Structure 1
Amino acid sequence: MAEIVYPPVIGAARTLFRALDLKIRIEGAEHIPRTGGAVLVSNHISYLDFIFAGLSTLPTKRLVRFMAKKEVFDHKISGPLMRGMHHIPVDRAAGAAAFGAALKSLKGGEIVGVFAEATISRSFTIKEIKNGAVRMAVGAKVPMIPMALWGTQRLWTKGHPKKLLQRHVPITILLGEPMHPQRGDDYDAVSADLRERMAAMLDQAQRSYPEIPPGAWWQPRHLGGTAPTPEEAAEMDEAEAKAREARHTP
């Protein structure tokens, strides 16, 4: 397919990151296959995660087709960009269409990016994940690659003001060894294994992160930060969901 939009967007992002002197560290890029499909499964801590997750495949000169909620495609600015980069819209009321589109991309040799937690983690820990990524990997007969992002939450995350032009922010991008789920596996058990791997990678990224001030809002509670605990974050998510439902109830 023609790539008219994606390369210029990547170029613009990299130019901006260099101007801001973001300290981007990518480890494990060798786990990205040079050819063929793969499911890239990342944690989700920022509205910008798809940009940084996409950088992980640049050493192999490959592009990622991310699955993102339909509302992003409906936006007058982000919509044309997302469609131009051939990302995959997800309508939560009709998820089968998105799943089918992802399978088609994977079978066509594309890398598909998935945020398995579905929504941003306010606690900056790994939330529970469903088995959709595993089912996609099995259905397309492709590997599944776990990923951990850290530092992106400092630029723009849920419940905090945007700081898109903040300078010198370290960004960590870790990729783990590919997983190869097979038909007949317990998909929930494989998803639990995936979550454990992602949690271990995220913990590694968090503990090796430079210059952490005491009580930082962007640091998880168990590491001395002031982010909500997973339990508090779950309560906040539930309250937000109820409020959203109330707004859309006639």
Structure 2
Amino acid sequence: MNLAIRFRFHHPERMPQSGAFVLAPNHYSEIDPVVMGIVSWKLGRAPRFLAKASLFKVPVAGWLLRKSGQIPVDRAGSKSHAALRAAEELVEKGRMVVVYPEGSLTRDPGLWPMRGKTGAVRIALERDIPIIPAAHWGTQALMPRYGKKLSLFPRKTIDVAIGEPLDLSAYRGKPLDQATLIKATSELMEAIAGLLAELRGEPAPAERWNPSAHSQKETGRFEG
């Protein structure tokens, strides 16, 4: 697949070359984990993913995720807890872990990041490690949102931006209650949206898409 993709990196020097950290990218295609896995390798780090369990059932992407030792997240309580502990074990070994803070493919009609979940920020704060926002654009030409088939030809170009570490100094050492985690996650999503705006050359929406504020009927209208 690597030969079918041309990557253009923006700020690749921001990718830490040693130590544990969380990489938090945007998510709008089922093939995103494979793409970000290649990106991580190209930028000098071996990727490990905390990805929703359903991705492991996607052709090509699922096989690659299983073979490379990634971590499936089942939304059932005990299994989700086990996945977080597995991610923390990677952190203890000084490895990077890729966590999609949106939790699933964005439902924003324009493919902008939607409101995030708190898992990525929680790992970073609990383990006192950096969280690096990231964004990519162009993956939708390789596999569209909710698509299952790859389009490898003609060759696709994917732009990738690596952000500065999110400043979590205001939250470190404080109780990690839900309000704190939500606020920190909101800042993370703003940083990811800003990187994506840079890649797309257009401003991001003023607010992140909130799936809970839209009915299934409204969401279906945008998802085709």
TM range (shorter): 0.7 to 0.9
Deviation at 1:81, TM superposition (A): 3.6
Deviation string for 1:7-27 (max 9, x for gaps)?
Answer: xxxxxx32x32xxxx332111
In 1: Cα distance, 2:217 partner to 2:89 partner: 32
Q: 1:175 to 1:234 in 2, by over 3 A?
A: farther
Matching of residue 48 in structure 1 with residue 38 in structure 2: no
Matching of residue 183 in structure 1 with residue 173 in structure 2: yes
Deviation string for 1:177-211 (max 9, x for gaps)?
Answer: 01253231732221111111111111111117xxx
- Does the aligned pair in 1 maintain the 2:30–2:146 contact within 8 Å? no
Matches within 5 A, 1:146-161: 146-159=133-146
Query: If the length of structure 1 is used for normalisation, what is the TM-score?
Result: 0.71
Q: Which amino acid aligns with 1:197?
A: A
Deviation at 1:147, TM superposition (A): 0.5
Gaps of 5+ in 1: 1-12, 209-219, 223-228, 241-250
Give the RMSD, CA atoms, in angstroms.
Answer: 3.0
In 2: Cα distance, 1:237 partner to 1:158 partner: 18
- Does the aligned pair in 1 maintain the 2:31–2:143 contact within 8 Å? yes
Matched residue, 1:62: 45
- Does the aligned pair in 2 maintain the 1:66–1:113 contact within 8 Å? yes
Matches within 5 A, 1:166-205: 166-181=153-168, 182-184=172-174, 186-205=180-199
Matches within 5 A, 1:115-126: 115-122=100-107, 123=109, 124-126=111-113
Q: Which amino acid aligns with 1:71?
A: S
Q: Secondary structure at the match of 2:122?
A: helix
Of stretches 154-163 and 119-128 in structure 1, the one that deviates more from structure 2 is 154-163
Deviation string for 1:63-82 (max 9, x for gaps)?
Answer: 11011222344678755542
Deviation at 1:121, TM superposition (A): 1.8
Q: 1:79 to 1:53 in 2, by over 3 A?
A: closer
Deviation string for 1:64-115 (max 9, x for gaps)?
Answer: 1011222344678755542331111101113111111111111111111011
Q: How much identity, in percent, do the aligned residues show?
A: 31
Q: Which amino acid aligns with 2:22?
A: V
Q: Which amino acid aligns with 1:34?
A: Q
Deviation at 1:58, TM superposition (A): 2.9
Matching of residue 90 in structure 1 with residue 77 in structure 2: no
- Does the aligned pair in 1 maintain the 2:34–2:65 contact within 8 Å? no
Q: Which amino acid aligns with 2:152?
A: L
The structure having more radius of gyration, on CA atoms, is 1
Matching of residue 107 in structure 1 with residue 107 in structure 2: no
Deviation at 1:168, TM superposition (A): 3.5
Q: Which amino acid aligns with 1:48?
A: I
Deviation string for 1:24-57 (max 9, x for gaps)?
Answer: 2111221221111110001111111112222333
Q: Which amino acid aligns with 1:86?
A: G
Q: Which amino acid aligns with 2:48?
A: R
